[in-house]
Structure 1
Amino acid sequence: MSRRPRPTARPDGRSRGRLRRTLLAGLVAAAVVFPVSAAASPEVPAPAPAVPGESAALPDRYAAHLANLAAAARTAENAGRNGRAAKLRAMEGGGGARFLGFDGRGKGRAIEVFGDLETADRVAVLIPGSDTTLDTYQRFRAGAVALQQRLRAEHARSAVVAWLGYDTPGTISPAVLTTGRADEAAAELGSFLPRLARLAAPQARLSLLCHSYGSVVCARTETGPAVTDIALFGSPGTGAGSAADLPTRARIWAGRGGGDWISGVPHVRLGGFGFGTDPVDPSFGALPFPAGSGGHSDYLKPGTESLEGLAGIVLGSSPAARPAPSALAAPEVSHARA
């Protein structure tokens, strides 16, 4: 007598939940880490930087941080880290580079200014994403230079600040799937922005241009009235459900290039992993800007539609722009973290 096959046991609700969370988290991880190779940033020795006082004049600040950079380059050379030393020498720009902050230890931090900050009434602050370190800084700098050149072609009183003011997560790491690094960075950026506003021209308008994981940072940063616009591009999500949930009164913009692989990242948030709603989804509530057909690293390349769109946001000339928030009677916005 043949025996009936035993029916396969169905998982209970708890097992199904665990399976679903594991599967979705795995999908997020695979989508993020597969297209990009991580940039190694070995620990490199460097002296603790000398930090000028808040009352120091802008030229003195530039000189102090350029000296910090030179000291870090010498230390790297003495330690046999010639690759890092060469990259730091390139950052010096023949002695003409202007930094509001520099720290050569570990992956490193740098805050560089392009343009005349003291006379600028339009200031763009670039916030980078994962794997941006002193070892990969030149690609970040190239985008800042391209943006500054585009802005100056239309508005002479403009400046760009390349803000590598946090330890970015590695592209292949659990940290890139959580908001932990972004929360730390948001505290740093939030304290930096009022100081930056005081260094620029009176009534200067600040715009945050936030790429990839940098969009998670910007979405968690409390901003004051000087920040009028925040642009999220190449974003995996922000950890917030909508633009209205962000702790700012600035206009929120979102764009994605047609060839950006990050469009394939699942927009989920489970167990602390993932970033939820896609910022380019109309349900998020951001203003759209034209981002062209480029890939994940193409947004600030000269001649691209995305560069034009971002410049229009900074200059206030985007067709989609509404009156600046400072001119509106804006309602109170919750500052609770998403």
Structure 2
Amino acid sequence: MEEARAGARGTGVRGWRRGLLATLVASAVVVPLSAAARPEIPAPAPAVLGPLTAASLDEAYAANRANAAEASRMAAAHGDRHRASADRALATPARHFIAFDGRGDGRATEVVGDLAHADRVAVLVPGSDTSLDTFERFRAGAAALREELERQAPEGTRTAVVAWLGYRTPGTVSATVTTTGRAERAAPHLRDLVRRLHDITGPEAHVSLLCHSYGSVVCGRAAAGLDVDDIAIVGSPGTGADCVDGLRTPARVWAALGGDDWVANVPHVSAELLGTTVGFGTDPVSPAFGARVFAAGTGGHSDYFTPGSVSLANLARIVLGETSEVTRA
């Protein structure tokens, strides 16, 4: 009798998963009429820059600030006051961008800290709903991490944080957020960024990827062959790989999930449909995945970079290479 009940429960779970997978598949291949694209926001083409080196950073920063200022003027003339304000904030002298493109949803790569002399560099890879319109929220996490790094860093250690909005992120409520398509298109750009960072800092600098939410799918697609020391994924629906070995990286792979993160309720399923992968596979904090699972406290999906949080302290320890100090879940 007990075996029969267990079998029934197993059948129910499998049926539930099949039903949910069918829903994901349907949402991934049907383009809703309500998902019309936002009208294109006019902006200048990105500034033409030479090779990025430690010596050319200031020139790149100045060119990208000027580009952001012009983008603000064009957005204002177009009647988009929200984007005009966002671009204007990015054009202030305190901001340091090694890349900026104000067109459409926008792209931006901002440096917090002295990248030219850094020996520990963290690259933040964002998840869904990140664009120039929401960039300040993303940048706040990078600034909080830099402050934590400076607080924890041993004397003589120099740090920088790079907030990389180098791809068109999916909307949280959209068909694209259930597939790997955006991540596959983003991966080459992330690989290029890491190469350019080493051109600036030299090959001896330690680089870590900190990948949030859908950003962990991007990191999963880019991981193979990347010259990084650590990959830390937080609030992840999956990486697209079944296990750490599937990422094909020599880097240490870390994973964490906050106690109040709604991603814990996302089922870890994956299927191929018409050349597209729907769903992201194994839960990165599960033993089956094989990551180094660390404590993230009780926070929610947007709380991993909150000042004073357990997750931020552990992420800083990972970036600094203080792996024995990382508290485990």
User: Same fold, TM exceeding 0.5?
Assistant: yes
- 1:299 alignment counterpart: 304
What RMSD, in angstroms, separates the aligned Cα atoms of the two structures? Answer: 2.3
Report the Cα offset of residue 51 of structure 1.
Answer: 2.3
2:61 maps to which residue? 62
Distance 1:203 1:275 in 2: 33
1:8-27 to 2 correspondence within 5 Å? 21-26=18-23
Task: Map residues 127-166 of structure 1 onto 2, 5 A cutoff.
Answer: 127-155=125-153, 156-166=157-167
Match of 1:198 in 2: 199
Q: Which residue of 2 aligns with 1:52?
A: 49
Once the two structures are superposed, the pairs formed by residues 31-180 of structure 1 within 5 Å of their partners are 43-54=40-51, 57-92=56-91, 94-155=92-153, 156-180=157-181
- CA deviation digits over 1:268-317, x for unaligned, max 9? 01233111100000110101111111000000000000001100100011
Per the alignment, in what secondary structure is the counterpart of residue 206 of structure 1? strand
Q: What letter matches 1:232 in structure 2?
A: I
Pairwise CA distance, 1:318: 2.7
Q: CA contact under 8 A between 1:115 and 1:160: conserved in structure 2?
A: yes
CA–CA separation in structure 1 for the residues paired with 2:120 and 2:17: 47
Instruction: Give the Å deviation of 1:18.
Output: 11
TM-score, length-normalised on structure 1? 0.82
Larger Rg: 1
Provide the secondary structure at the position in 2 that maps to 1:258: coil
Q: Which amino acid aligns with 1:85?
A: A
AA aligned opposite 1:279: P
Change (3 A) 1:54 1:312: same
In the TM superposition, what is the alpha-carbon distance from 1:154 to its structure 2 partner? 2.5
Q: Check conservation: 2:244, 2:290, Cα contact below 8 A.
A: yes
CA contact (8 A) 2:24 2:278 kept: no
Q: 1:213-270: CA deviations, max 9, x gaps? A: 0000001114556400000100000111001110321110000000000000000012
**How far, CA to CA, are the matches of 2:240 and 2:145 in structure 1?**
27
- Name the CA distance, whole Å, in 1 between partners of 2:311 and 2:16: 39
Change in Cα spacing, 1:312 to 1:19, as seen in structure 2 (3 Å) is: closer
AA aligned to 2:219 is C
- Contact 2:52–2:199, Cα closer than 8 Å, also in 1: no
Please say if residues 194 and 224 of structure 1, whose CA atoms lie closer than 8 Å, have aligned partners that are also in contact: no
SS across alignment from 2:160 = strand
- The aligned counterpart of 1:12 is none
Cα distance in structure 2, aligned partners of 1:132 and 1:318: 30
Report the alpha carbon displacement of residue 202 of structure 1 after superposing the two structures with TM: 5.0
Distance 1:19-1:237 versus aligned 2 partners, 3 A rule: closer
Q: Is the 8 A contact 2:43 2:103 kept in 1?
A: yes
- Give the 5 Å matches for 1:273-288: 273-288=278-293
Distance 1:63 1:158, change over 3 A: same
Partner SS, residue 248 of structure 1? coil
Q: 1:284 to 1:145 in 2, by over 3 A?
A: same
> How big is each residue's C-alpha offset from its partner over 1:48-102, in whole Å with a ceiling of 9 and x where there is no partner?
112201166111111111111111111101111111111111223x322100100
TM-score by length of 2: 0.85
- The number of aligned residues is 296
User: Distance in 1 between the 2:168 and 2:304 partners?
Assistant: 22
Distance, in Å, in 1 between the alignment partners of 2:233 and 2:146 is 18
Give distance in 2, aligned partners of 1:183 and 1:116: 30
